[in-house]
Amino acid sequence: MRAAMTDYAIGDIQGCYERLRDVLDRVSFSPSRDRLWVAGDLINRGPDSLETLRYIKSLGASAEVVLGNHDLHLLAVALGGHATKSKDTLHEILEAPDCDDLVEWLRRQSFCVYDERRDLLMAHAGLPHIWSVGEAVALAREVEAVIRGDDAEYYFSHMYGNEPGCWTPSLEGMDRWRMITNYFTRMRFIARDGTLELATKESAGNAPEGFEPWFHFPRADRVRVIFGHWAALEGNTGSERFIGLDTGCVWGGALTVMNLDTGERIHCDC
């Protein structure tokens, strides 16, 4: 029987609670012993967003969670006055007696998590080549402070948008916060200068002219990056450094969990 503590990472759950419990059972996950890194998009589109959110919250310090675009959407509805969309499956959360507690917990999660010992960073959409690890962590903490503070309602009411399209350190206020948010939670294709192309969701081979998948650009460091968000990749990046864990569970693909130290991936078909 396995006794040593193990750190696992899991891709986009999106409310697929039964598949989540199935794949964790396959690795004999124990929150009293192990930790689970969750690469964002815990909720939405799947059938059991409420139970998924409650379960991940119940893990306490045994979970390392980064925010995905669907998680931010719930916060934008709950705190920013936005309406739900026709394909959303958030109503059970919004009507739950513990909705306020769940929203409060969610807004205290991170935009990225960095493990210095492993030189390993997790962010929902990835890490743009224009930022060092140190810059990325600092910018993540900047926006995290906003969504946890007095400006949260303003942020969530103005969060959506594709502009500005490219990072510059001189950005201020909501333009700066939105740009950081889009890199961490919406990025797929990017230009050499850091401009984002946010309309295309196809596979890596279908890059619009002038753009490439973010993980195709060279980095000066050797950091490994865990990310979700891009189901069309089916987990394939062509690089051992850039680890895609969104294998499209909510779309009938699979839910994938990975052992952070051995690299072994375990799939649960959906």
> How does residue 3 score in pLDDT terms, banded at 50, 70 and 90?
low
Q: What is the pLDDT of residues 153-212, one digit of tens each?
A: 999 999 999 999 999 999 999 999 999 999 999 999 999 999 999 999 999 999 999 999
């060279």: which residue's tokens? 218
Q: How far is CA 171 from CA 101, 174, 176, in A?
A: 33, 9, 5
Strand partners, 257: 10, 266
Rounded to 10 degrees, the C-alpha dihedral 50/52/58/63 comes to -140
The pLDDT of residue 2 is 53
CATH top class, domain 7-269: alpha beta
pLDDT in the model for residue 4: 72
Ranges of each domain in the chain: 7-269
Q: Token pair 């939670």 is at which residue? A: 185
d(CA 107, CA 147): 6
Mean pLDDT of 54-67: 98
Tell whether the model's pLDDT for residue 1 goes beyond 70.
no
Q: What confidence score (pLDDT) does residue 73 get?
A: 98
Contact 66, 141 (CB under 8 A): no
Residues 216 and 237: beta-carbon distance below 8 Å: no
In this prediction the pTM is 0.97
